[in-house]
Amino acid sequence: MSFTSFNLKPAILQAIQDAGFTAPSPIQAQTIPAILQGKDVMACAQTGTGKTAAFVLPCLQRVVSGPSARQGHGPRVLVLTPTRELAQQCMDNLKLFGKHLSVRSGVVIGGVGYGPQYQLLSRPLDILVATPGRLIDHMNERRVDFSRVEVLVLDEADRMLDMGFLKPVEKIIAALPSRPQILLFSATFSPEVEKVASRTLQNPHRAQLAAAKQDHSAITQHVFHVDNTDHKQNMLSHLLKQNDVDQVIIFSATKHGADRLAKKLQQQGFSTGALHGDMKQNQRKRTLDSLHAGRLKVLVATDVAARGLDVKNLSHVINYDLPNLAEDYTHRIGRTGRGGAVGVAISLVSPPDLPLLRDIEKRLGKPFTFSKIEGLESSFTEADFRRIVSAEAPPGRPKQRGQRPARSQGNHGGNSGGGQGQHQGGRTHGNSHGGGGNRSFGGRPRRSFSR
C-alpha cells in the first residue's frame, strides 16, 4: 500500500514525502481510509506505531477539503491527549504534515501561562490540541468555542483514564453542541477503555494489529537485568565489543533517544548511524546504504523506521528499550536470524520494564530466564525483578549499583532466582529462548540452523 491510495491532497502527500515516509505503517493503513470516510474509529495503537500521523493526516485532509458548515471561529478538530509531551508531539506532526497548507492549529496545555492561550482561542482555529485539565479551565471561563467541532480525537485513551481524566473528557464531550466523528486511539483495549468506547463511539471501525506468528528457532534470545541508564550503557558497550557481533540494530523507543544513543556510541568509537522518522529521505538512504555496505556496524532505530529492513549480516538485535507492544518484539528480533543464518536478540530490562517483559513472555508462551555478565551484574536478582511486579511488593529500586533492595536481603546468594544464567570468566551462559546450542556471552549459537 502507498500513501497515494488514500487520495490525500497533493500538498499533504508532498509533506509525507518530505518527511521521508515511503509507506503507511500498518495502523495508518488500517485507520486512514475509515477516518476519511467519516467513521468513528477505535484503534489499538501505541507510541512508535505511527498512530499520530494516522489521525493527523486525515484530519488535515478534512480541514482543507472544504469550509466548515457551521458558524463560529473555534476548532473543527479537537485532539485530547493525556500529557503535554504528547500534545506537543501531535502539534509537531501537524506542523510537519501541514507545512504546505494554511491550517491554523494550536495547543492548550497546563504548566504554561494562560495569556497566549487566551489569544489563541480568541482567533479562528482549525485544529486544537489540548490536555483535558487546561481545556476545562478555558471552558469554565467560557473562552472556548466548540460550535464547529467536527472531529474529536482521544489520543492514548487508556492513559487518559489511568490519569483520572475520565470525568474531564466526559465533560468536554458533553459540552460539544453536536456529535462529532470520534477517533479513539489506545495502547490497550482494556475493559475500562471498552466501556468508554461503548458509551461514546457509534458503530466504530476497529483497528488492531494482527498478531504475527513467526518462527524464531534460529534466534537465541537473552534478557539482561539493568539497574539504570548508566548500567544499561555500560552493558551495551560491553556487548558491542564482543567478537561475534557483526552488525547490530539497537531499538530505541524515541527518535531523540535514538539520536542521543547513536551519538554516544559514535563517541565510543563504534561506527553508528541513527534511523528514525524525523530524518530526511536522503539522510535515511545514506545511512541504510552505509549499513548494507558494511561501513556501519551499529544502527540505532525506532520501530517504525526499521520496519521492513532486511540486512544480510545482521548478527544481533538489541532492545535498548523494550517495545511497548509485545508483537513488536517479534518483529524486532525477526530482523536477525534470516535466510538460514543464526542470530541473537538481547533485551536490556530495568525494573519499570517488567510489565512489558511480562507481555512479551505471555505472547511467546514461556518465561525468559535471565543472563548475566561477570562484573556487570544487576543489583537485582531475578527473584527481585519478579517480585517487583507482583502484587505483594510495590516497585522499588536500589539507590546505587551494588546495593540491593531491602526486601531482597537474604535472597541473593547465587543463582537462586529460578533459572538464572550462569556466568563464568566474563562469559555468560543463560537464557535460551529459541536457538539452543552452545553460546558465548551474547549467546550466538555456534551451530548453524537451516530453515
Contact residues for ligand AMP, defined by CB under 6 A:
21, 24-25, 28, 47-53, 255, 276-278, 302, 304-305
Q: Please, are residues 362 and 326 in contact by the beta-carbon 8 Å criterion?
A: yes
Q: Which is nearer to ligand AMP, 251 or 368 (CB)?
A: 251
Rounded to a whole number of angstroms, the minimum distance from the CB of residue 299 to ligand AMP is 15
Q: Which is nearer to ligand AMP, 302 or 369 (CB)?
A: 302
Rounded to a whole number of angstroms, the minimum distance from the CB of residue 307 to ligand AMP is 7
Q: Which is nearer to ligand AMP, 187 or 226 (CB)?
A: 187
Rounded to a whole number of angstroms, the minimum distance from the CB of residue 22 to ligand AMP is 7
Q: Which is nearer to ligand AMP, 225 or 331 (CB)?
A: 331
Nearest residue to ligand AMP by CB is 277
Rounded to a whole number of angstroms, the minimum distance from the CB of residue 343 to ligand AMP is 24
Rounded to a whole number of angstroms, the minimum distance from the CB of residue 45 to ligand AMP is 7
Rounded to a whole number of angstroms, the minimum distance from the CB of residue 166 to ligand AMP is 23
Q: Which is nearer to ligand AMP, 51 or 332 (CB)?
A: 51
Task: Give the angle subtended at the CA of 144 by the CAs of 139 and 145, to the nearest 5°.
Answer: 130
Rounded to a whole number of angstroms, the minimum distance from the CB of residue 56 to ligand AMP is 8
Rounded to a whole number of angstroms, the minimum distance from the CB of residue 309 to ligand AMP is 11
Q: Which is nearer to ligand AMP, 21 or 385 (CB)?
A: 21
Q: Which is nearer to ligand AMP, 27 or 240 (CB)?
A: 27
Q: Which is nearer to ligand AMP, 261 or 388 (CB)?
A: 261
